[in-house]
Amino acid sequence: MEIQQLHSLFLECYSACTDTRKLKNNDMFFALKGDNFNGNTYAEQAIKSGAKYVVIDDDEFYKAPHTILVNNVLETLQELASFHRTYLNIPIISLTGSNGKTTTKELINAILSKKFKTVATVGNLNNHIGVPLTLLSMNKFTETGIVEMGANHLKEIEFLCNMAKPDYGYITNFGKAHLEGFGSVEGVIKGKSEMYEYLIANNKTIFVNLNDDIQTEKTKKANTYSFGNKNSKADVNVDFIGALPFVKCQFNNLIMESQLIGDYNFNNIAAAITIGNYFKVDDVDMKEAIENYVPTNNRSQIIQKNSNKIILDAYNANPTSMTAALLNFEKQTGNKIVIIGDMFELGSDAKNEHQNIADLAVSLNINQLFFIGENFYQTKIDSKKTSKYKSFLDFKNAYQPSLINNSILLIKGSRGMALERVLDLL
């Protein structure tokens, strides 16, 4: 079946779906394959659950008139998403980066939705499956799309850009993330900059943080719209006021008080304000959007539990974000306790990077440190204020409720560590 024909059928549907547990009536179901599952085997169940059409690539499960047989379901999903994006012909803002991209995406969406009907990436569905699903969730009522793009290897951002065809782009930063896949920080810069290359080649616009030398250098030949402080030559000036307890900034004589912790979130807020200003969102509306945004999904969440105040930042971690979180946490007041877990996907750099973070943590004005995970367990630490555990189970078995009371805690680690489980112990 030609992609144009498939698209005509898709327009009859509610949306695209790849999980029968989340299937809605009149969805188009794509029977993807994975290492441990074959979506084709769910084709009949999808039809019974209300799917209008089911796209399969195994003729054994063909059942007229609801099934559509293709050569490769994943490739068809991606091709359909790209066709749909062209069909809609709406402005698409893309963003990537080592840290802060999901928070920045949420802030951009909060601001732009004050003026436009927006669709943004849900959660962090930012890969070769998540991006096409985001594009296919847009419809004739959508006025602006915001697409987050993640990658852990070279050429992935290039592939996603060619699919989403963004008109605008922003890279939050370049840090020590996914070093195992990218090979080095230089590899990270090269991989993320594939977005710049696409936007420059297609004469599109790039949003730039002038305080980031890499961004400034990489976008010299681009159409840019920049932000910086009042002493810079930026198109938009956003000034940092403070970050205790939450980030506060000033734009056009308006003071904006966010509900985000950590001065590292200032650039995320400033970027969102810049993009909102570019699209002529009213300043007061932007202030309201920034001040009403509350982080969720284990990302810099502030939680009060019994006598303890918790900064739960357990969605993910890499050396860059871990360093920023620790330095920010040191500025807090009270009995400061840190519970941090291993950082994944660092490859051959894992040993050194975990030792660097352990050394930094010990050097800071923090009262007590708990390190969890095999990598942190192998670090060499000589400090009475630290405890190391090879696994979360070891930490759980050793934990006593009397250990942590009337304290402020930072909980941070890679997604695979699932350190939000600490909350159940407190």
Q: What CATH number corresponds to the domain at position 66? A: 3.40.1390.10
Helices (H), 173-308: 179-182, 185-192, 194-201, 213-218, 266-278, 283-292
How many domains would you assign to the chain?
Answer: 3
Positions of the chain with pLDDT lower than 70, given as ranges: none
Residues 140 and 180 in one domain: yes
pLDDT the model gives residue 176: 76
* Domain end position, chosen among 292, 316, 346: 292
Residues 246 and 306 in one domain: no
Q: Which amino acid is at 214?
A: I
Residues 333 and 193 in one domain: no
Residues 316 and 383 in one domain: yes
In this prediction the pTM is 0.88
* Domain end position, chosen among 267, 292, 317: 292
Residues 280 and 323 in one domain: no
Whether residue 43 is contained in a domain is answered as yes
Cβ atoms of 90 and 134 within 8 Å: the answer is: no
Whether residue 82 is contained in a domain is answered as no
Residues 116 and 151 in one domain: yes
What are the φ/ψ torsions at residue 337 (nearest 5 degrees)? -125, 135
Rounded Cα gap, residues 339 and 426, in angstroms:
12
Q: Which residue has the tokens 């796209």?
A: 55
Whether residue 85 is contained in a domain is answered as no
Whether residue 78 is contained in a domain is answered as no
Cβ atoms of 279 and 236 within 8 Å: the answer is: no
Residues 45 and 135 in one domain: no
Cβ atoms of 363 and 387 within 8 Å: the answer is: no
Whether residue 233 is contained in a domain is answered as yes
Q: What is the CATH number of the domain that holds 206?
A: 3.40.1190.10
Rounded Cα gap, residues 147 and 121, in angstroms:
5
Domain of 282, in residue numbers:
90-292
Rounded Cα gap, residues 149 and 318, in angstroms:
17
pLDDT the model gives residue 315: 85
Residues 165 and 267 in one domain: yes
pLDDT the model gives residue 190: 93
Whether residue 320 is contained in a domain is answered as yes
Q: Which amino acid is at 179?
A: L
3-state secondary structure of 341: strand
pLDDT the model gives residue 169: 98
Residues 365 and 315 in one domain: yes
Rounded Cα gap, residues 7 and 12, in angstroms:
9
pLDDT the model gives residue 30: 97
pLDDT the model gives residue 277: 98
* Domain end position, chosen among 274, 292, 310: 292
Residues 263 and 309 in one domain: no
Rounded Cα gap, residues 6 and 12, in angstroms:
10
Rounded Cα gap, residues 93 and 206, in angstroms:
9
pLDDT the model gives residue 329: 93
Whether residue 84 is contained in a domain is answered as no
Residues 251 and 350 in one domain: no
Residues 241 and 329 in one domain: no
